[in-house]
Amino acid sequence: MKKALRITVVLVAALCTVLPVAADEGMWMPQQIPDLAPRLKELGFTGDAKIWADLTGFPMNAIVSLGGCSASFISPEGLIATNHHCVQGSLQYNSTPERNLIVDGYLARTREEELSNGPGSRVWVTVSVKEVTDEITGKIDAKLTDRQRYDVIERRVKERTAACEKDGLRCRVASFFEGLRYFEIAQLEINDVRLVHAPPQGIGNYGGETDNWQWPRHTGDFSFYRAYVGKDGRPAPYSKENVPYRPKHFLKVSPKGASPGELIFVAGYPGRTQRHETYAEVKDRTEWALPQSVKRSREMIALLEETTKGQKELAIKAEPRMRGLLNGMKKNEGVLEGLLRGGILARKEAKQKDLEAWIAADPQRTKEYGPVLSELATMQAEGLKTRERDTALATISYGSTLLGTAESLYRLSLESPKKDVDRDPAFQERNWTRTKEGLERMQRTYDHRIDRPMLRYALLAAAALPEGQRIAPIDTLAGLVPGMPKDDAAKKVDTYLDTLYAGTKLAEKDFRLSLFDRSTKEILDTKDTAIQLAVALHPVMEANRERDKANDGKRSRLRPSYMRALLAQGGGLVAPDANSTLRVTFGRVMGVDPRDGMRYLPQTTLQGVVDKHTGEGEFDAPDRLLDAVKALRGGKKTPYFDEKLGDVPVDFMSDVDTTGGNSGSAVLNSQGELVGLLFDGTLETVASDFLFDTEKTRSIQVDSRYLLWVWDAVEGARNLLDEVGIK
């Protein structure tokens, strides 16, 4: 392995050996896994740890990203395994009130029956990772302002990205270790993705929000896509002439699943963790950001429920957003619980004090690291001054699809005349196809009956802002003033929304698409009211973006030094925070004692599905599944039966280190066989995103035997069993 790819703490010159890691913490970069060979050997791994670092070999070449979820190839014909909750967009896109795939599920028994996911769907296969730290942050003039420093780094990133993208590759230059290291990641981008199988909601989302983040689980959280390419084997837009993608490597689906005590590996794309944040940053999240997020999600969920009640078409359109809000709210509630009552915040404060004492104990360390902590604290305090307004602005942008579309079109018109390297990264030419696909796909998700109540909610939140935090364009357009009574503000907002939705044509697909390549003048000349709102808000949004760029430039100076201090103090082999790049974690199948007097066993079975079945709501298992269980109980043989359990296993727990984005991750045994799919964690330990709980952190996986049994005994999916080599 090349020295440049060994992400160990050789950054600290005094360290030259690999030290043990605590309780298998770590979402490791694949390149780091060979350095963990001694620990893997302790856990019983007898293979070559270098296989996890080879992104073009088995098994890592089979691991893919869906953008927000993880997945893996499981056949030579491009069949992809992921979670049921990761295909909600596809189910929603292909559903109608008469054929609701979200509830009923879908199974294609032939290639011709496989359903397009619609514009915007992607599969990314990571093919290479190259360190480019010197190219991104090397030789930057120390005299530059923070804003100028940001511009230098951004331009270098864009130039590296452009040089990398060729032959169907999508590239990204990502920051690791708080900007201490940068890596260029090249991925094959496949843009014809089709739905093959999603079980009914009574399997794929069994237990719903009642069981979400809980144990025991009995959820069959699995679904399957297929990747297609042109006849030349290269990525191509959807076409009936396309052929299944043939990956270099794919995973064998194990009919033996995973057993208690067994070593497993999880490979996927975890989203974000914040373990290297300062205590002040975590404290602000605890006191402000997380409570606000929970409150906002709860209110939006109630609003969506009220809006869609009794209306199947609206419920289908709102389903992906509803699922996302429910999942995020419950997780954030668990994080808050862990930070406060679970003691994570107090432990974080203690670690910060230890760091400060360690720095103060040595004059050289004080000189090198002392100012960094002070400047970071100042930045944090400065951000508190506008957090109410910033939260309200974010809610407005998130709340309305219509406004988001208007903002995107207006900004695209401003950026298009520039040279590509000078454009905002989101509006560079490499993203134009995806922007246009979003305009097309909006037709299946947008409805003013959903959009208006959500935007109304956001505007009322803006109306309640205190003096000094006001959003001036909103006040002007809606006629709001600080301190206005709620009822009066609601009337003003409703009057404004009447005008807004009566004067916009952005809900019309042809009109939206016609604005895609228009000049700014032509867009303004439409006098579309949604565009006018976006234009009015643009100076405020742009001022925030400029502020954030200056802050990012400052962070690019401070955070690497802060990270060096953490590494120098702690020593050992350290995983960088998750950042949606390919990672590997490992652990064992095992239960846990979550609190006094309670013990979680590591596996659940079909009997638990039957025991929970009520025939209503979240616990309504399909009749064909219940019939298959009866047949099994009546003596029908199945190769997926576990003699020790006396039943077919459904889900299992493990002590692997994962987070959001790992949904759909391949769970592998020591031979690289697929033994399950990761889909959740436990509510007691979600605060490990901020500080890893070495004793109680657990992840939840669906056992490969359950998905194979469903294919076999419930769905009769002989075509899929044959494809993955199950006889």
CA angle 665, 669, 674 (to 5 degrees): 50
What residues contact residue 130 under an 8 Å CB cut-off, 6+ apart? 183, 184, 186
Q: Which amino acid makes up residue 382? A: E
Decide if 175 is catalytic.
Answer: no
- CA-to-CA distance for 59 and 673, rounded, in angstroms? 8
Task: Strands of 566-647 (E only): list them.
Answer: 583-588, 603-605
- CA-to-CA distance for 239 and 247, rounded, in angstroms? 19
List the catalytic residue out of 221, 528, 577, 647: 221
HEC string of 391-444 equals HHHHHHHHHCHHHHHHHHHHHHHHHCCCCHHHCCHHHCHHHHHHHHHHHHHHHH
What residues contact residue 649 under an 8 Å CB cut-off, 6+ apart? 257, 603, 604, 605, 640, 642, 703, 705, 706
| C-alpha separations of 198 from 83, 439, 616, 666, 711 in Å | 9, 26, 20, 17, 11
Query: What is the maximum span of the chain, computed from C-alpha positions, in angstroms?
Result: 79
List the catalytic residue out of 65, 70, 75, 85: 85
Would residue 725 be called left, alpha or beta, if left means φ above 0 and alpha means ψ between -120 and 50 degrees? left
Decide if 85 is catalytic.
Answer: yes
Residue 73 forms beta bridges with which residues?
80
| C-alpha separations of 210 from 97, 215, 217, 331, 617 in Å | 25, 10, 10, 13, 10
- The DSSP secondary structure of 293-319, one letter per residue, reads HHHHHHHHHHHHHHHHTT-HHHHHHHH
Phi, psi of 571 (to 5 degrees): 70, 180
Helix (H, G, I), strand (E, B) or coil at 724: coil
Exposure of 527 in the CB half-sphere (CA atoms within 13 A): 3
List the catalytic residue out of 70, 95, 556, 663: 663
Decide if 197 is catalytic.
Answer: no
What residues contact residue 721 under an 8 Å CB cut-off, 6+ apart? 708, 711, 712
Q: Is the dihedral of CA 468, 472, 474, 477 positive or negative?
A: positive
Query: Would you please indicate which residues are annotated as catalytic (active-site) residues?
Result: 85, 221, 663
